[in-house]
Amino acid sequence: MDKVLIVASSDKLVLSLSELVLEAGQFTITTATSGSLARRLVLEEEWDTVVVNHPLKDDDAERFVQMVSEHSDATPILLVKSEYLQMVSRSLADTPTLFVEKPLIKQIFFQAMHLASSMKRRMENLKKQNAKLEAQIEDLKYINRAKICLIINQHISEEEAHHRLEKLAMDNRISKREAAKAILRMFSD
C-alpha cells in the first residue's frame, strides 16, 4: 500500500484531501498542517507520494516541493490555482512534480494519484536494475583483476586464466567473484 503525505494549511483542507485520496485507492495517509512538520516527515520517512496544497501558510510550497524532490524518492503532486499554474510549473520544471489545477476535478486528481504510484513503482524497478548492474560491474572488476594476476604470476594466456577461475568457482561451489577474491588473496601475500 502506497504511503501518502498530505500537506495543507488547514485541518479542513487536510480532511477533504484525505477523503479524496482514500477515494482514489488504497493508500496509507499521514497529514501535516505545517511546512516544518512536513519537512521533518519527508526527511525521516520514506513516502511514495506527497500531495501539497499550494499555498502553504508557514512555508513556500514551491521550495517545499523542491526539497521533496531533492531529499526523497516520493512523487510530489502540487495542487495549484489555475492563475498560478504556469508560473509555478516553470519554477519546478526540473522536478518530477505532477500539477493538478484547482478547483479540483476528481477524475484528474485520481489520475494524478495513479500516475504518481506508477512512477514510484517504475523508479523502484529502475533502482533494482541499476543495483544489479552495479553488482555485475563489481564482479567483473574482481574477475578481471584475478585473471591479470594469474596471467602475470603464472605466465598463462587469458583463456587459461579464465578457465582456472571458472574451475576454482565450480570445484568449490562458489561464485566467480568469490573465486576471484580467493585468487587475489593468494597473490597479495
List Cβ neighbours of 107 (8 Å cut-off, separation of 6 or more): none
Considering the entire predicted model, what is its pTM?
Answer: 0.77
The 3-class secondary structure across 169-180, one letter per residue, is HHHHCCCHHHHH
The pLDDT score that the predictor gives to residue 21 is: 96
Q: What is the pLDDT of residue 189?
A: 67
Task: Judge whether residue 175 has pLDDT over 80.
Answer: yes
Q: Which residues pair with 30 in a beta bridge?
A: 5
* Residue indicated by cell numbers 478547483: 103
Helix (H, G, I), strand (E, B) or coil at 8: coil
Q: Read off the pLDDT of each residue in 65-71 and give the average, rounded to a whole number.
A: 95
User: What's the pLDDT tens digit per position in 34-58?
Assistant: 999 999 999 999 999 999 999 998 8
Pick from 14, 16, 13, 21: which is nearest to 48 by CA? 21
Residue 187: per-residue pLDDT = 85
Neighbour tally for 58: CB within 10 Å = 11
pLDDT digits 0-9 by tens, 85-109? 999 999 999 999 999 999 999 999 9
Residue linked to cell 523508479: 123
Listing DSSP states for 95-138 in one string gives S--EEEEESP-HHHHHHHHHHHHHHHHHHHHHHHHHHHHHHHHH
